[in-house]
């Protein structure tokens, strides 16, 4: 009996070590330093009230009500409505490309009359890998096209849970290959190319640029932008708990997770996605961050993913990459999507355009 108990204890210890080191990855706390000063301070604009009302109606209340309004279908419909109600003065054109396995992925080009179609931005939308589309994020793709003079392509990459997490990864990679070779009107040589994305799309953005720089014969991105990106699938960031109450958008999504032991979360993620949560493909911060293209990260000091952005920036800079972080005070997660409501969103887009001009992607203004 004693040997059986010893065997059980050893088994549990071995499992714990496996989960901690293999699934949990490296300890990222070393990248909490140096700390980052907030770049854009000051009381929030009047538009903040409108945004908070929108978030309460579309995120907080549905989560409390449960039932039909809290289903994945309902969440996707709300995201879609947010974008489809826009009437921007631009040309939007549907297009498609082939992903691995002969899967056809559709997407949307956004351009304006003065767009230089040889300058292109791949935009990867957010939505926790489960919601969102090219339509839902039109506020961002339009503003990028308007301010940079670039043609912007947003793919409708495959979403979970009906698809595998790695399906979306593959679709993002193939979307990059597609825009290198194609513009809104079809095959056309590219002059400058950038990758951008928010939240989950920010995760895919940082994955794509790492992958593209490692692929022999593939054109390297000239620049990248990640808005409030999630970079660590092991959920180590202190700001997840520190900013839980101030992150109105992500709070309903993250609240149930915080009740689950991290051990269970790691194992559950591993089983669900068929890839360990610390793998660089799904946790970009865990990989080699040297040799990256110039990258701008924007995040709010009040959101749960703030420390994801800080840690990624510090690690990338230590590896010699040109990665910079800009933070805003008291903004919600991915606030640039509220461009019609928030002056702070305009400020963020101005910074993005300036950054892309610095590296020759955006047209001179």
Distance of CA 311 to the CA centre of its chain: 15
pLDDT along the chain (365 residues), means of 10: 51 47 87 94 93 94 90 95 93 97 97 97 98 98 98 98 96 98 97 98 98 95 98 96 95 91 90 92 97 98 98 98 97 96 96 98 92
Strand-pair category, 91-99 with 103-111: antiparallel
Cβ 221 vs Cβ 191: under 8 Å: no
SS3 label, residue 81: helix
From the CB of residue 289, how many other CB atoms can be counted at a distance below 10 Å?
24
- CB within 8 A of 327, min separation 6: which ones? 36, 37, 38, 39, 40, 298, 299, 300, 301, 306, 309
Q: Count the Cβ atoms, other than its own, within 10 Å of residue 120.
A: 30
Secondary-structure percent of the chain, ordered helix, strand, coil, rounded to 5: 45, 15, 40
User: Can you tell me the distance from the alpha carbon of 141 to that of 150, in angstroms, rounded to the nearest whole number?
Assistant: 10
Can you give the three-state secondary structure of 100-138, one letter per residue? Answer: CCCEEEEEEEEECCCCEEEEEEEEECCCCCCCCCCCCCH
User: Tell me, what's the pLDDT at 365?
Assistant: 78
Strand order in 295-300's β-sheet?
Answer: 91-99, 103-111, 150-155, 116-124, 192-198, 223-227, 295-300, 323-328
Structural domains in the chain? 32-358 (3.40.50.1820)
Residue 186 exposed, middle or buried by CB count within 10 Å (0-12, 13-18, 19+) = exposed
What pLDDT score does 128 carry? 96
Do residues 287 and 210 lie in contact, with contact meaning Cβ atoms separated by under 8 Å? yes
CA distances from 109 to 20, 145, 154, 185 (A): 43, 10, 7, 9
What tokens were used for 175?
Answer: 């979307």
Residue with tokens 């092991």: 234
Active-site residues, by number, are 199, 303, 333
Q: How far apart are CA 133 and CA 65, in angstroms?
A: 25
This prediction's pTM: 0.93
CA 241 to chain centre: 20
* pLDDT, position 18: 52
- Determine the pLDDT at residue 13: 40
């Amino acid at each position: 009996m004693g040997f059986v108990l010893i065997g059980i204890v050893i088994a549990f210890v071995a499992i714990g070590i496996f989960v901690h080191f293999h699934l949990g990855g490296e300890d990222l706390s070393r990248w909490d330093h140096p700390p980052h000063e907030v770049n854009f301070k000051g009381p929030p604009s009047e538009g903040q009230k409108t945004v908070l009302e929108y978030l309460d109606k579309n995120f907080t209340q549905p989560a409390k009500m449960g039932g039909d309004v809290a289903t994945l279908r309902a969440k996707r419909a709300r995201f879609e409505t947010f974008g489809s109600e826009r009437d921007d003065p631009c040309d939007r054109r549907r297009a498609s490309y082939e992903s691995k396995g002969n899967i056809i992925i559709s997407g949307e080009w956004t351009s304006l009359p003065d767009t230089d179609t040889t300058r292109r931005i791949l935009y990867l939308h957010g939505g926790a890998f489960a919601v969102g589309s090219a339509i839902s994020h039109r506020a961002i793709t339009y503003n990028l096209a308007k301010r940079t003079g670039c043609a912007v392509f947003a793919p409708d990459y495959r979403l979970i849970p009906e698809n595998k997490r790695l399906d979306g990864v593959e679709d993002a990679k193939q979307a990059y290959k597609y825009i290198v070779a194609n513009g809104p009107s079809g095959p056309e040589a590219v002059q400058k190319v950038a990758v951008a994305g928010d939240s989950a799309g920010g995760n895919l953005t940082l994955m794509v640029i790492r992958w593209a720089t490692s692929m022999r014969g593939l054109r390297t991105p000239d620049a990248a932008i990640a808005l409030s990106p999630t970079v660590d699938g092991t959920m180590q960031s202190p700001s997840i708990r520190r900013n839980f109450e101030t992150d109105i958008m992500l709070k309903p999504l993250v609240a149930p997770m915080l009740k689950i032991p991290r051990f269970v979360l790691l194992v559950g993620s591993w089983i669900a996605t068929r890839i360990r949560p610390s793998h660089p493909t799904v946790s970009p911060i865990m990989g080699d961050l040297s040799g990256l293209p110039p990258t701008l990260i924007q995040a709010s000091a009040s959101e749960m993913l703030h420390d994801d952005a800080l840690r990624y920036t510090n690690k990338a800079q230590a590896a010699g990459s040109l990665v910079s972080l800009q933070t805003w005070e008291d903004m919600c997660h991915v606030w640039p999507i509220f461009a019609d409501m928030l002056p702070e969103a305009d400020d963020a887009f101005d910074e993005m355009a300036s950054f892309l001009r610095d590296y020759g992607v955006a047209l001179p203004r």
